């Protein structure tokens, strides 16, 4: 029982990190209807960014995320301005073309990583990396706790921005209906560039803080990209709260299946299997599923009366 | 005139390739094998990815199934070439198994699902013992070599190599013929309709899922043959070589660079990529930047010429004919 509780709580904390790394992907998908495969490359660069800062300036990874956000946002905006926006408009269905293009960008980033930092496995060893705190009967590693906090803070800030500011409202308008947004005078191209910047910045932040927990090479990030994709599919592709729920589902599923069903070796395979199942069984994600269930029960009630 | 020209080019290259062992050195033959392998991979991918427009990053799984079928059965005393049908059947079955659910997805969703599947297969293969885990499996010492018995003057090593060389060339010819046949039959028309507008195709009575599953199974089966020949050539297989993500990537990259959806495009892509790879790997300074070059090629092709090298050539030739047409118009006026 204590073990189950411990696994559950740890998975919930893990979900904070999973959500933080998925927000950017969902944001970019929402506005541009493209799947940003370069996300993985940015996560990797984020990890090496804080690694470099830690090595040469002894800046803690959780402090370096403050620098990482603007740096990677700028990178994202430049990427959008000079590469992504040159693609022909794809309308409402994402085109395979953008997928392959961003795949190419990812490869270039990866090679850049090899070029600058070599192919050795690196890690950031802070004073608290291996420490943990006791919350009653449960032990939680400090890095995971901090990541959870960053994830929650990111969620709150993003939510505020999306509901309270013009920028957020414009982003949501373009997400819902690009044509209509253009009609009411929103500069959709500019909004897309900013959204791409924020999304890339968030990827950089999550990569940056991951360096405190994981060892990484320039190949780092691929598994997390697929996890993030699984999460946004579960979350219904576009909503932030959907992402949070999706992150929770993935983190819990991983933890339980790895503990009670199969060996640790296959832990990553679980996410990939979950991804395929989620795509196939509920293409609308969990929100779509709950809506469907609601409709099902309602019709049943109607039939009974 | 052009038809005559094409026939001559094809006949000449066939003579050079198949007669090659008589006058070319082992190194050149090796390069030809590599290029033929690249062309095979690119053209097979083109069946589903190009003709039907379903971009899959999952083909390394079928390559791996073929390779592992050959290795494992060779250890049971089978002749390496006799194991090919087993890999073919397994790969085709697996392709149907993963195709039936994933073909309900469209466009990028399908693509992402295939990335998930190929990664799941890789993780699974690395975790199992029968694949040799991360360290992989070696071919048993004695296998194959029909030619050895037929040609008394040839050493065993050379006989094994020549067998594989001809097998790969034959596979390349077979794959190209298969693509050509598909393009010129109802099957190809259906795939092309699916690529252009799947809803319209289904409205016209085309069973899109069935066609996609068939195209997938056919390409998976051919991919398994390529995997078997690959492992005979390298005598070694590991999850990190055949199931690696870079393998899936390479398989997609070649036809995209050459020009998807055409007969010639993937051949050009395979030749260029295969040759480039051999040359790149021999230059130490460029060895560490091969990913960068692939990525750059992908970005450039996607941004400027989605038709690939073939599209570029066509575009380069277009001004000529347009100029001529304009001149004619001027003359008439």
pLDDT tens per residue across span B193-205: 888 888 888 888 8
Out of A93, A106, A280, the one facing B107 most closely (by C-beta) is A93
| Residue entry with tokens 């209906």 | A177
Helix A267-281 vs helix B107-127: angle between axes, to the nearest 10 degrees? 150
Q: Do A104 and B112 touch (CB under 8 A)?
A: no
Cβ distance of A272 and B290 shorter than 8 Å: no
**In chain A, helix, strand, coil percent, each to 5?**
75, 5, 20
Q: Where are the alpha helices (DSSP H) in B128-155?
A: 147-150
Query: pLDDT tens digit string along B223-272?
Result: 999 999 898 888 888 887 878 877 888 888 888 888 888 888 899 888 98
Strand ranges (E), B101-220: 137-138
- The minimal CB distance from B298 to the residues A103, A110, A226 is found for A103
Instruction: Summarize chain B as % helix, strand, coil (round to 5).
Output: 80, 0, 20
State pLDDT tens for residues B155-189: 777 777 888 888 899 999 999 999 999 989 998 88
**Predicted pLDDT at A48:** 92
Whether the CB-CB separation of B291 and A108 falls below 8 Å is answered with yes
Q: How many CB pairs under 8 A join A and B?
A: 129
- Quick one: pLDDT at residue A92? 47
| Chain CA centroid to CA A78, Å | 20
Subunit contact B113:A110, Cβ cutoff 8 A: no
pLDDT tens-digit profile of A230-267?
Answer: 888 888 777 888 888 889 988 888 888 877 776 666 77
Handedness of CA A176, A178, A182, A185 (dihedral sign): positive
d(CA A250, CA A243): 10
The whole-angstrom distance between A35's CA and the closest CA on chain B is: 8
**Residues of A with Cβ-Cβ distance to B302 under 8 angstroms:** 87, 97-98, 100-101, 104
Residue with tokens 């997609």: B252
Question: CA B264 from chain center: how many Å?
Answer: 13
pLDDT tens per residue, range B40-58: 999 999 998 888 888 888 8
Residue in this structure with the two tokens 């999973």, named with its chain if needed: A18
Q: Is the CB of residue A92 less than 8 Å away from at least one CB of chain B?
A: no
How far away is chain A from the Cα of B106, in angstroms, using its nearest Cα? 9
Does A282 contact chain B (CB < 8 Å)?
Answer: no
CB contact under 8 A, A279 and B297: no
Contact A280 B102 (CB under 8 A): yes
- Which residues of chain B lie closer than 8 angstroms to A84, CB-CB? none
Interface check for A95 against chain B (CB to CB < 8 A): the answer is yes
A96 with B306: Cβ contact below 8 A: no
CA distances from A305 to A261, A296, A301, B94, B287 (A): 43, 15, 6, 48, 73
Kindly give the confidence (pLDDT) of every residue in chain A, 305 residues in length, as a single tens digit, with 9 standing for 90 and above.
Answer: 778 888 888 889 889 999 999 999 988 888 888 888 899 999 999 999 999 998 888 888 888 889 999 999 999 999 999 888 887 665 544 567 788 888 889 989 988 888 888 888 888 887 777 788 887 778 888 888 888 999 899 999 998 998 899 998 999 888 888 888 888 888 888 898 999 999 999 999 999 988 888 888 888 888 888 888 888 888 877 788 888 888 998 888 888 887 777 666 677 777 777 777 777 777 666 666 777 777 777 776 666 65
Which residues touch B218 (CB under 8 Å, ≥6 apart)? B47, B92, B178
Residues of B in contact with A230 (CB under 8 A): 116
CB contact under 8 A, B296 and A99: no
pLDDT digits (tens, 9 = 90+) for A206-238: 999 888 888 888 888 888 888 888 888 888 777
- From B283's Cα to the closest Cα of chain A, the distance in A is 16
Mean pLDDT (chain A, rounded): 84
Which one of A103, A266, A280 has the shortest CB-CB distance to B123?
A266
Test the A interface: residue of B109, B300, B307 with most A CBs within 10 Å: B109
DSSP string over A210-251 = HTTTS-B-TTTTHHHHHHHHHHHHHTTTT-HHHHHHHHHHHH
Hey, are the CB atoms on B292 and A111 less than 8 Å from each other?
A: yes
Whose tokens are 């009575």? That residue is B205
Q: By the CB < 8 Å criterion, does A283 face chain B? A: yes
Chain A residues near residue B295 by CB distance under 8 angstroms: 103-111
Which residue of B49, B58, B295, B308 is the best one to mutate when testing the A interface, meaning the one whose CB has the most A CBs within 10 A? B295
Span B320-331, pLDDT tens digits: 666 555 555 555
Q: What is the ipTM of this complex?
A: 0.78
* Per-residue model confidence (pLDDT) at position A206: 92
> Is A35 in Cβ contact with B302 (below 8 Å)?
no
Which residue in chain A has the smallest CA separation from B107?
A96
Q: Which residue of B has its CA nearest to A276?
A: B113
- In A, minimum Cα distance to B246 occurs at A107
CB contacts of B249 in chain A (<8 Å) are 103, 107
Give the model's pLDDT for residue B81: 82
Chain B hits for A280, CB-CB cut-off 8 Å, are: 101-102, 104-105, 113
CB contact under 8 A, B102 and A94: no
Considering only CB atoms, B295 lies closest to which of A86, A87, A104, namely A104
Contact between A212 and A226 (Cβ < 8 Å): no
């Amino acid at each position: 029982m204590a073990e189950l509780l411990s696994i559950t709580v740890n998975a919930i904390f893990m979900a904070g990190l999973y959500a933080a790394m998925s927000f950017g992907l969902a944001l970019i998908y929402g506005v541009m209807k493209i799947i940003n495969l370069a996300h993985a490359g940015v996560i990797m660069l984020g990890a090496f960014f804080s690694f470099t800062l830690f090595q040469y300036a002894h800046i803690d990874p959780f402090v370096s995320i403050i620098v990482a956000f603007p740096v990677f946002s700028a990178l994202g905006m430049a990427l959008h301005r000079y590469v992504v926006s040159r693609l022909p408009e794809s309308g409402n269905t994402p085109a395979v073309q953008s997928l392959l293009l961003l795949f190419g960008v990812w490869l270039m980033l990866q090679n850049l990583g090899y070029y600058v930092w070599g192919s050795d496995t690196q890690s950031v060893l802070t004073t608290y990396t291996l420490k943990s705190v006791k919350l009653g009967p449960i032990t939680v590693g400090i890095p995971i706790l901090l990541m959870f906090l960053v994830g929650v803070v990111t969620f709150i800030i993003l939510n505020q921005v999306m509901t309270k500011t013009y920028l957020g409202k414009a982003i949501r308008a373009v997400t819902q209906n690009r044509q209509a947004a253009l009609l009411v005078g929103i500069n959709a191209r500019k909004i897309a560039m900013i959204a791409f910047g924020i999304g890339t910045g968030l990827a950089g932040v999550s990569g940056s803080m991951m360096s405190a927990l994981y060892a990484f090479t320039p190949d780092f990030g691929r598994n997390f990209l697929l996890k993030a994709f699984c999460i946004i599919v579960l979350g219904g592709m576009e909503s932030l709260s959907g992402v949070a729920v999706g992150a929770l589902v993935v983190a819990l599923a991983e933890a339980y299946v790895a503990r009670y069903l199969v060996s640790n070796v296959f832990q990553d395979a679980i996410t990939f299997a979950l991804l395929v199942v989620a795509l196939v069984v509920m293409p609308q994600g969990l929100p779509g599923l709950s809506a469907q269930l609601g409709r099902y029960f309602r019709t049943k009630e109607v039939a009974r009366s | 005139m052009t038809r005559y020209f094409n026939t001559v080019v094809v006949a000449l290259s066939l003579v050079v390739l198949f007669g090659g062992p008589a006058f070319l050195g082992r190194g050149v033959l090796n390069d030809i094998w590599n290029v033929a392998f690249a062309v095979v991979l690119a053209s097979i991918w083109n069946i589903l990815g190009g003709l039907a427009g379903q971009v899959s990053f999952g083909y390394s799984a079928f390559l791996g199934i073929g390779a592992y079928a050959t290795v494992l059965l060779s250890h049971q005393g089978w002749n390496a070439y006799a194991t090919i049908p087993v890999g073919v059947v397994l790969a085709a079955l697996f392709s149907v198994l993963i195709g039936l659910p994933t073909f309900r997805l469209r466009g990028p969703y399908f693509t992402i699902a295939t990335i998930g599947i190929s990664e799941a297969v890789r993780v699974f293969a690395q975790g199992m013992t029968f694949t040799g885990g991360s360290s992989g499996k070696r071919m048993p010492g004695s296998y194959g070599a029909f030619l050895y018995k037929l040609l008394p003057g040839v050493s065993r090593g050379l006989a094994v190599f020549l067998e594989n060389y001809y097998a790969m060339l034959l596979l390349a010819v077979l794959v190209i013929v298969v693509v050509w046949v598909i393009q010129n039959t109802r099957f190809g028309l259906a795939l092309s309709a699916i690529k252009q507008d799947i809803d319209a195709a289904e409205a016209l009575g085309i069973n899109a899922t069935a066609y996609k599953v068939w195209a997938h199974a056919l390409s998976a089966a051919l991919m398994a043959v390529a995997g078997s020949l690959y492992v005979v050539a390298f005598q070694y297989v590991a999850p990190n070589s055949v199931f690696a993500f870079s393998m899936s990537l390479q398989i997609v990259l070649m036809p995209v660079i050459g020009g998807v959806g055409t007969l010639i495009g993937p051949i050009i892509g395979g030749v260029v990529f295969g040759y480039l790879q051999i040359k790149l790997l021999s230059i130490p300074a460029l060895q560490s930047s091969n990913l960068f070059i692939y990525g750059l090629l992908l970005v450039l092709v996607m941004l400027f010429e989605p038709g690939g090298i073939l599209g570029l050539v066509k575009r380069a030739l277009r001004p000529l004919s347009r100029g001529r047409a304009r001149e004619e118009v001027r003359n008439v006026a």
